[in-house]
Amino acid sequence: MNLVIKPARSLRGTVSVPGDKSISHRAVMLGALAEGATLIENFLPGEDCLATVACFRKLGVEISWTGKDSLRIQGCGLEGLREPEEVLDAGNSGTTMRLLLGIMAGQPFFSVLNGDASLRCRPMARVTGPLVRMGARIEGRQGGNLAPLAVQGGNLKPVHYNSPVASAQVKSAVLLAGLFAGGVTSVTEPYRSRDHTERMLRHFGAKVDVSGTTVRVAGRPRLLGRKIAVPGDLSSASFLMVAAAALPGSDLTLQRVGINPARSGIIDALTGMGASIELLNPREEGGEPVAEIRVRCTGRLTGIAVGGEMIPRLIDEIPALAVAAALAGGRTEIRDAAELKVKESNRIATVAGMLASFGAVVEELPDGLLVKGGKPLRGCACRSHGDHRIALAASVAGLLAEGETIVHDAECMNVSFPGFDGLLKKILV
C-alpha cells in the first residue's frame, strides 16, 4: 500500500490511540500462564500482537474475541501449555519471539520458533545465552543467534543474569523463564528498561522485587487470571505529538495514554525542545500510570542532546523525535543508541535516509544521529523498509513538509498503529 500524505495546517481534537503493544503482548502471555480467565480490553489488534495470540493458540490456549479489541483468555496455569505441532511464527515481532523463548525454555517439550525475513536477521543470542545457562537446549543458525530456533525446555535452574544491554525483552525472557525454576531468578541491567513485565507479574500475583537496576522473581508462583485495560500506546502517540508540537495552531488531546516513567523519555525530550505538553488527570490503572496528553504548538522547537539512561526510555520514539529535530532550530544529537541498528530495520540508517529524502540535514553516527534542523522539509517519495515506525515517521514528516509525500509499503503501520490514516483524518484541520 502506498500512503499519500498532504501537508497539514493543524491537528486539533481529542482522540484515543490504539492499545500499548508491549502491554498487549504481556497480557496474552501472562493470561495464558494464569489460572482462570483473563479479560483484556483495548488490546492492540496489530500484527505483532496477533502473532502472539496465534502462537498461544498453537500452545493449546483458548483465546476468543469478545469485541473488536477485547479478548478472553482461558489460562492453563504454569503447567498447562501443550507441545505445539507446528512452528510458532512470531512474524515481525521481536517481543513475541524473545519473550516466548523465555516461556518455551521452561516447558518440558520441544518447540520451534520462526519469524519473517527481518526477525530472522535480529540477534537472539542475547536471550538464548542466559536461557541456555538456566538449562534449556536451544539450537539455531549462528550457534543459536538467529531464528529459526529449536527449543527443548524444562528442568530450569534459577540464575542471576548480568545483562550487557538495557533491554526489556532480554530481562523479560529471563524473568519469564524464572517462573518455571525453583528459587529466585534475577536480572541486572546497565540502565532500567521498560518494566511492564514486572508490573504485570505483580498484578497476576507473582512476587517481584526491584532494587536499583536489579529485578528478582520468585519461581513457581500461582498466577491468577485478571482483568486488564491496556493503556493507549505512548509510542504510537509520539507520532501525533510531534506533528501537533510542530504545526501552528495545533491543540491535540490523546486520551488514556500510558506514561510509564520507563517509557516517557519522549515527553521529556519534546518538552526540553520547547513543546507544550500537559499530562491531565494522571492516575494508575491496573498497575500502569496513564493520563490524557495535551499537546499544543508553541511555534518554537530547538535541538536537544539525548543519550545515556534516557535512551531506553525513548528507544522506539527516536524515529518520531528525529522528525521533530529536523524542524527544530539548531542541532539535535542522539548518542548511545546503537541498539537502533537491530530494530525492525537498522533505524540509524533508515531514519537518516528517510529524513535526507525530505531534504533534512542529517548524519549517521556509529551510535546515533546528528540532525541539523531548521531547513524546510520537501515532500518526497520514500520507503518504509518494512518498518512500521519508519512508515509512521515518514507520514508525520509528510504532514510537516511542503508538497505531497508518498510513503511506499506503508501497510507495515498495521504492526503497531492500525487505523493511523483514519485517525489522522479526524484531527486534521
Angle of helix 196-203 relative to helix 168-178, nearest 10 degrees, comes to 30
The burial class, CB within 10 Å (0-12 / 13-18 / 19+), for 300 is exposed
User: How near is the Cβ of 42 to ligand S3P at its closest, in Å?
Assistant: 16
Number of residues that this document lists for the chain: 429
Task: Select which of 116, 316, 336, 421 is catalytic.
Answer: 316
CB of 373 to ligand S3P, least distance (A): 24
What is the 3 state secondary structure string of the chain?
A: CCEEECCCCCEEEEECCCECHHHHHHHHHHHHHCEEEEEEECCCCCHHHHHHHHHHHHCCCEEEEEECCEEEEEEECCCCCCCCCCCEECCCCHHHHHHHHHHHHCCCCEEEEECCCCHHHCCCHHHHHHHHHCCCEEEEHHHHCEEEEEEECCCCCCCEEECCCCCHHHHHHHHHHHCCCCCEEEEECCCCCCCHHHHHHHHCCCCEEEECCEEEEECCCCCECCEEECCECHHHHHHHHHHHHHCCCCEEEEEEEECCCCCCHHHHHHHHCCCEEEEEEEEEECCEEEEEEEEECCCCCECCEECHHHHHHHHHHHHHHHHHHHHCEEEEEECCCHHHHHCCCCHHHHHHHHHHHCCCEEEEECCEEEEEECCCCECCEEECCCCHHHHHHHHHHHHHCECCEEEECHHHHHHCCCCHHHHHHHHEC
Provide the minimum distance between the beta carbon of 266 and ligand S3P in the complex, in angstroms, as a whole number.
Answer: 13
Closer to ligand S3P by CB, 235 or 405: give it: 235
Buried b (16+ CB within 10 A) or exposed e, 84-102: beebbbbbbbbbbbbbbbb
As beta bridge partners, residue 373 has 330
Q: Judged by CB, which is closer to ligand S3P: 315, or 334? A: 315
Min dist CB 416 to ligand S3P, Å, is 8
CB of 177 to ligand S3P, least distance (A): 15
Minimum distance between the CB of residue 281 and ligand S3P, rounded to whole angstroms? 26
Nearer to ligand S3P, 22 or 185 (CB): 22
CB of 412 to ligand S3P, least distance (A): 14
Least distance between ligand S3P and beta carbon 117 (Å) = 18
> Active site includes 409?
no
Positions in the binding site for ligand S3P (CB under 6 A)? 22, 95, 167-169, 172, 193-194, 315-316, 339
Pick 128 or 169: Cβ nearer ligand S3P: 169
Active site residues: 316
